[in-house]
Amino acid sequence: MIEKSAKVFSFYRDGFAQMTVGKTLWKIIFIKLLVMFAVLKLFFFPNYLNTNFETDEQRGDYVLEQLIRPVTNTN
C-alpha cells in the first residue's frame, strides 16, 4: 500500500514539476480564490454580530434564537 501511494505521489510531483502553462493557470486560480474569499468578504459580507451586538452573551442569545425559532411556511 505504501509503495502504491509513493507511486501516486511521485506521479503528481513529476507532473506538477514539468508543467509550463499549468503553473500560470494555478497562479490565476489562486488569485481568483483570493479575490473571492478576501476582497468580496470585506465588501459584501460584513460582520453582523460584531456590528449589532456589544457582548458575547448578546451574540450567543441571538444565534441561539435564530437556530431554535420555528420556520414559517410562506406557501
The full DSSP string for 38-74 is: IIHHHHHS--HHHHH-SSHHHHHHHHHHHHHSPPPP-
- Taking alpha carbons only, the member of 54, 32, 35 closest to residue 43 is 35
* Within-domain flag for 17: no
Question: Is there a domain that residue 14 lies in?
Answer: no
| Domain carrying residue 29 | 23-70
pLDDT band at 75; cut points 50, 70, 90 = low
Sign of CA dihedral 63, 68, 69, 74: positive
The reported pLDDT for the residue numbered 37 is: 87
| Domain count along the chain | 1
Query: Would 58 be classed as within a structural domain?
Result: yes
Stretch 13-42: mean pLDDT, rounded?
85
pLDDT level of residue 58 (50, 70, 90 thresholds)? very high
Instruction: Please tell me whether the overall predicted TM-score, pTM, comes out greater than 0.75 for this model.
Output: no
